[in-house]
Amino acid sequence: MWHQVTVPFARLLGSNLYPTLFENKHYQKLLEISGITPPPDSVAKLSPAQRDRLQQNANLRANLLALELDGLQALEHAGASAVEISGPQHIYRLWNSQVKESEFRFF
């Protein structure tokens, strides 16, 4: 049901490194369980095994995101998607408007 969110979200997480998120504790955990510590400045510097683990963990995180979104029943899956917006700055934001001080997190 959340295929249009999980597939691109997993692809984004599993094929890139996002230096602006290196300080985010949830992103740090994703990299840590993927064996990427300290993270290099480029995904090209990862070993094939690290890339494979990163993609596997990204798929898991994307599926957990889908379960969380389904449980919240706050979004209509037909209009949801995961995209990366490029420009002078990268913007990453996922939040729960029902929670004060909601921060970006990985599910």
pLDDT tens string 8-64: 889 999 999 998 889 888 899 999 999 999 999 889 999 999 999 999 999 999 888
Burial 53-63 (b: 16+ CB within 10 A, else e): bbbebbbbbbe
- Distance CA(88)–CA(95), nearest Å, equals 22
Peptide bond into 38 cis (omega under 30): yes
C-alpha distances out from residue 74 to 15, 60, 96, Å = 28, 21, 9
Q: What is the reported pTM?
A: 0.74
